[in-house]
């Protein structure tokens, strides 16, 4: 008979080796998270726009232009947002910027989302309630921006315009961003868009808020293997 060897008394029980998730499965899970995060972020971005519109204390800089064009044309805010996004995307051509899935999705999803949210959201009269909507809109916009940027599917058309101009002109990001936003606010205000305290608060706070949320919401790219990193021939 074959002897059965018992483990020594007091020794820890044997455990099965951990099951490793195959790289393909990990890649699919990461892609699913990125896609979900992209589209959740874009939908929430549209909701944040609608919150600021309903607050009636001023809207985001680009939405001053969107709102002014919407009032002049009779089209919905979402439709104008899509049209302006397409026009801005065409401006990428001479700048030789390359759009990604997130860029195209940004143009389409946000416009639909803001129109749907404007139908569903209330329009409060009390100043305190309007202030709450404005603050919620600003914070939600920062979260939404971090979500869709963190998904790493490409910048929105307006952000791509800024980075393209920075690359082509050599000017600083701050100068280019400020110049663009001052221009669209001025044009939108002349067309009847709403400029108010929330516009100023948004301009001053959304950048620092995105800076806080973005590291927490960025989907980290997988570390390169030894082969892809050049460790093997």
Task: Write the pLDDT tens digit of every residue in 160-171.
Answer: 898 889 888 898
pLDDT in tens, 145-161: 999 999 999 889 998 89
Q: Is residue 13 situated within a structural domain?
A: no
pLDDT score, position 233: 42
For residues 218 and 152, is the Cβ–Cβ distance under 8 A?
yes
- Determine which of 93-97, 116-120, 222-226 has the lowest per-residue pLDDT on average: 222-226
Instruction: Please give the Cα distance from 143 to 233 (Å, whole number).
Output: 43
Q: Is residue 229 situated within a structural domain?
A: no
pLDDT in tens, 99-147: 899 999 999 999 999 999 999 999 999 999 999 999 999 999 999 999 9
Buried residues in 131-147 as b, exposed as e (16+ CB within 10 A): eebbbebbbbbbbbbbb
Q: Residue 194 sits in which domain range?
A: 35-217
pLDDT in tens, 2-11: 555 555 555 5
Q: Is residue 182 situated within a structural domain?
A: yes
> Which residues lie below 8 Å from residue 114, measured CB to CB, with a gap of 6+?
46, 47, 49, 50, 53, 77, 78, 81
pLDDT score, position 207: 86
Q: Is residue 169 situated within a structural domain?
A: yes
The secondary structure of the chain, three-state, reads CCCCCCCCCCCCCCCCCCCCCCHHHHHHHHHHHHHHHHHHHHHHHHHHHHHHHHHCCCCCHHHHHHHHHHHHHCCCHHHHHHHHHHHHHHCHHHHCCCCCHHHHHHHHHHHHHHHHHHHHCCCCCCHHHHHHHHHHHHHHHHHHHHHHHHCCCCCCHHHHHHHHHHHHHCCCHHHHHHHHHHHHHHHHHHHCCCCCHHHHHHHHHHHHHHHHHHHHHCCCCCCCCCCCCCCCC
pTM of the model: 0.83
Q: Burial-class residue 196 by CB neighbours within 10 Å (0-12, 13-18, 19+).
A: middle
Q: Is residue 155 situated within a structural domain?
A: yes
Q: Is residue 124 situated within a structural domain?
A: yes
Instruction: Please give the Cα distance from 13 to 35 (Å, whole number).
Output: 42
Instruction: Please give the Cα distance from 37 to 2 (Å, whole number).
Output: 58
Q: How far is CA 159 from the centre of its chain?
A: 10
Q: Is residue 6 situated within a structural domain?
A: no
Number of domains present in the structure of the chain: 1
Q: Is residue 28 situated within a structural domain?
A: no
Closest listed residue to residue 183, CA positions, set 30, 61, 92, 44: 61
């Amino acid at each position: 008979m074959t002897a059965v060897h018992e483990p020594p008394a007091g020794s820890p029980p044997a455990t099965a080796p951990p099951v490793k998730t195959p790289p393909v499965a990990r890649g699919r899970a990461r892609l699913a998270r990125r896609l979900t995060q992209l589209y959740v972020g874009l939908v929430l971005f549209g909701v944040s726009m609608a919150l600021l519109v309903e607050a009636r204390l001023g809207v985001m800089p680009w939405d001053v232009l969107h709102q002014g064009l919407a009032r002049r044309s009779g089209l919905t805010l979402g439709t104008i947002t899509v049209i302006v996004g397409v026009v801005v995307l065409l401006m990428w051509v001479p700048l030789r910027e390359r759009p990604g899935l997130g860029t195209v999705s940004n143009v389409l999803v946000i416009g639909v989302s803001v129109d749907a949210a404007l139908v569903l959201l209330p329009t409060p009269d009390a100043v305190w309630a309007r202030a709450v909507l404005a603050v919620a809109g600003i914070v939600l916009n920062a979260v939404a921006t971090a979500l869709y940027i963190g998904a790493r599917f490409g910048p929105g058309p307006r952000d791509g315009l800024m980075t393209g101009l920075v690359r082509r002109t050599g000017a600083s990001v701050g100068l280019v961003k400020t110049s663009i936003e001052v221009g669209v606010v001025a044009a939108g205000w002349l067309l009847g868009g709403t400029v108010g305290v929330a516009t100023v608060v948004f301009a001053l706070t959304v950048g620092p808020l995105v800076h806080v949320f973005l590291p927490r919401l960025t989907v980290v790219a997988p570390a390169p293997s030894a082969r892809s990193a050049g460790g093997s021939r």
